[in-house]
């Protein structure tokens, strides 16, 4: 695997592996073994969503205990959340949408940021903010492969991480597109596997996810 750059960019985040796991953790004790299990399967860019009270503690634990992983935060909706995430050690942030305020804050923090977009106008706004790696959310609900193909014409320099409704069966058709760097999905970290502390299952899911696209052939534009 390539060395993780010291000065990480959003492009580094989306080009590292075919899948970014969307992680919801309710228990701090799951954070470190989960990160180790995902890394063992070849996935090291980890999106820990800010949807539970322990999320930032989980990020802190991953950063301290699993240096091979790159812990980021998801569901970032305000600048204050981005700041708190960075203080906890998060190396990148992912948001469900795009706002100028978040763009400013993440730029000031030097925090690589993947904002969510679902329309051409939002892509234009993100481009105005200097961003060219974007989350497409909610991908399958908003138009999936067809919408991504339609964006290839006007936005050839933008790469996307479609997230929302992505599963192993529809991921290959997304990953085959020239403007898809990776996909995001929660299927890599099933709630039941966490409850069962079935780390081997999560490593197996990560390995399968890496095999969805054996070699990253995406052009960065
Ligand atoms: C989310 O925000 O929950 C992500 O989009 C994950 O969606 P998924 O559960 O459909 O993978």
Question: How would you classify residue 144: left for phi > 0, otherwise alpha for psi between -120 and 50, otherwise beta?
Answer: left
Over its C-alpha atoms, the chain yields an Rg (Å, rounded) of 16
Determine the length of the chain: 221
In this structure, whether the domain defined by 10-210 belongs to CATH 3.20.20.70 is answered with yes
Q: Which of 20, 97, 185 has most ligand 1 atoms within 8 Å of its beta carbon, as the pocket-test mutant?
A: 185
Task: Render pLDDT for 55-89 as a digit per residue (tens, 0 to 9).
Answer: 999 999 999 999 999 999 999 999 999 999 999 99
CA distance 94 to 76: 6
Closest ligand 1 atom, residue 163 Cα: 5
Residue 122 among the catalytic residues:
no
- 80-101 confidence digits (pLDDT tens): 999 999 999 999 999 999 999 9
pTM of the model: 0.95
Question: What percentage of the chain exceeds 70 in pLDDT?
Answer: 96
Buried b / exposed e along 6-37 (16+ C-beta atoms within 10 A)? eebebbbbbbbbbbbbbbbbeeeebbbebbbb
Higher confidence at residue 159 or residue 213?
A: 159
Tens digit of each residue's pLDDT (9 = 90 or more) over 21-55: 999 999 999 999 999 999 999 999 999 999 999 99
The overall average pLDDT reported for the chain is: 95
């Amino acid at each position: 695997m390539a060395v993780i750059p010291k000065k990480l960019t959003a492009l580094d985040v989306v080009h590292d592996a075919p899948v970014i796991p969307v992680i919801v953790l309710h228990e701090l004790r799951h954070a470190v073994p989960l990160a180790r299990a995902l890394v063992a399967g070849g996935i090291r860019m980890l999106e820990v969503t800010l949807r539970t009270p322990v999320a930032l503690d989980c990020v802190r634990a991953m950063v301290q205990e699993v240096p091979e992983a790159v812990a980021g935060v998801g569901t970032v909706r305000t600048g204050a959340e981005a700041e708190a995430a960075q203080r906890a050690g998060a190396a990148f942030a992912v948001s469900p949408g795009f706002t100028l305020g978040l763009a400013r804050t993440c730029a000031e923090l030097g925090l690589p940021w993947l904002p969510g977009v679902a329309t051409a106008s939002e892509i234009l706004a993100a481009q105005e903010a200097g961003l060219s790696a974007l989350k497409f959310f909610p991908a399958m609900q908003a138009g999936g492969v067809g919408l991504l193909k339609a964006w290839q014409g006007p936005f050839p320099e933008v790469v996307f991480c479609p997230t929302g409704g992505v599963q192993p069966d529809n991921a290959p058709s997304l990953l085959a597109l020239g403007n898809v760097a990776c996909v995001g999905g929660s299927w890599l970290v099933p709630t039941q596997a966490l409850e069962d502390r079935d780390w081997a299952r999560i490593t197996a899911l990560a390995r399968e996810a890496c095999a969805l696209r054996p070699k990253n052939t995406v052009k960065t534009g």
